[in-house]
Copies of this chain bind each other. A is one copy, B any other.
Amino acid sequence: MRVMTNSIPQTERRRDALSKERIVEAAIEILDSSGESGLTFRALAARLATGSGAIYWHVANKDELLAAATDHIVARVMAEMAKSPGPREAVRTIALGVFDAIDVHPWVGAQMQRAPWHTSMLQIFDSLGRQLEALGVPQAAQFDAATALLSYILGVAGQNASNARMHGQDPDRAGVLAKTAAHWAQLDAEEYPFVTKVAHQMNDHDDTAQFLAGIDLILAGIEALR
């Protein structure tokens, strides 16, 4: 008769055992609450009630940790993406999904910039590219068009990330905009004729609407290719 051991099988660990998943989840929580500068291996180890070296057993280094955290967010975005009727709407939906995710997790924007050809970016790139055929874009132009869309999205993503870095979790978004508008308005009109002219538009300014306006501009240019 074989003796049954009461040891826990390898696939079924203690609730509080360390794993890459738990580490990534904790990292995302720290990134969301304390920003990019708040994520240190010491802070992460403290939250997981372990030593900083233990994390290195599951994760190679900080780059891999940030990449895994970004993958986690992007995967969720792509999964929740409802099928859209037309290709034009699909592109807007993808772009908006990324934009909203970065609004909630600004550090994702910085990470996307840092590793633009990582898996999570390739998923977005591919789903953008898939729509271009349906839009009637010639084969030869599809690559450039998809790259343009992705570059624009990454540009806005990076700016949102740096805004968050600068102003933290500042709830007074309107106040920041008003301050910028006032600063622009008082610039030398000889040196900055355009900025002084559009300064007032900074006040009643909708980030999301402006982002979509840019997407529409590129889409209009793409449709002109036919």
Chain A residues within 8 Å of B, Cβ to Cβ: 113-117, 122-123, 125-130, 132, 141-148, 150-159, 161-162, 165, 180, 187, 191-195, 197-198, 201, 210, 213-214, 216-222, 224-225
A193 to B148, CA, bound (A): 18
- Sampled A-B contacts (23; CB under 8 Å): A115-B162, A117-B180, A123-B192, A125-B194, A126-B192, A126-B193, A126-B195, A127-B194, A128-B194, A143-B210, A144-B214, A144-B217, A147-B214, A150-B155, A151-B159, A152-B152, A152-B155, A153-B155, A155-B155, A155-B156, A217-B221, A217-B222, A221-B222
Q: In the assembled complex, which residues on chain B have CB atoms less than 8 Å from the CB atom of A146?
A: 194, 198
Minimum CB–CB distance from A207 to chain B (whole Å) comes to 10
A222 to B213, CA, bound (A): 10
A82 to B119, CA, bound (A): 41
Total copies of this chain within the assembly: 2
A152 to B218, CA, bound (A): 10
The answer to whether A148 touches B214 (Cβ under 8 A) is yes
Chain B residue at minimal CB-CB distance from A117: B180
Chain B residue at minimal CB-CB distance from A213: B144
A48 to B216, CA, bound (A): 50
Q: In the assembled complex, which residues on chain B have CB atoms less than 8 Å from the CB atom of A143?
A: 198, 201, 210
The answer to whether B130 touches A193 (Cβ under 8 A) is yes
Known: A151-B159, A219-B221. 9 other contacts (CB 8 A): A113-B159, A113-B162, A115-B162, A126-B195, A152-B152, A155-B155, A214-B218, A218-B221, A221-B221
The answer to whether A114 touches B148 (Cβ under 8 A) is no
Minimum CB–CB distance from A43 to chain B (whole Å) comes to 22
Q: In the assembled complex, which residues on chain B have CB atoms less than 8 Å from the CB atom of A218?
A: 148, 152, 214, 217-218, 221
A158 to B111, CA, bound (A): 11
The answer to whether A122 touches B192 (Cβ under 8 A) is yes
The answer to whether B129 touches A194 (Cβ under 8 A) is yes
Q: In the assembled complex, which residues on chain B have CB atoms less than 8 Å from the CB atom of A123?
A: 192
Chain B residue at minimal CB-CB distance from A128: B194
Q: A195: which of B129, B152, B216 is its contact (CB, 8 Å)?
A: B129
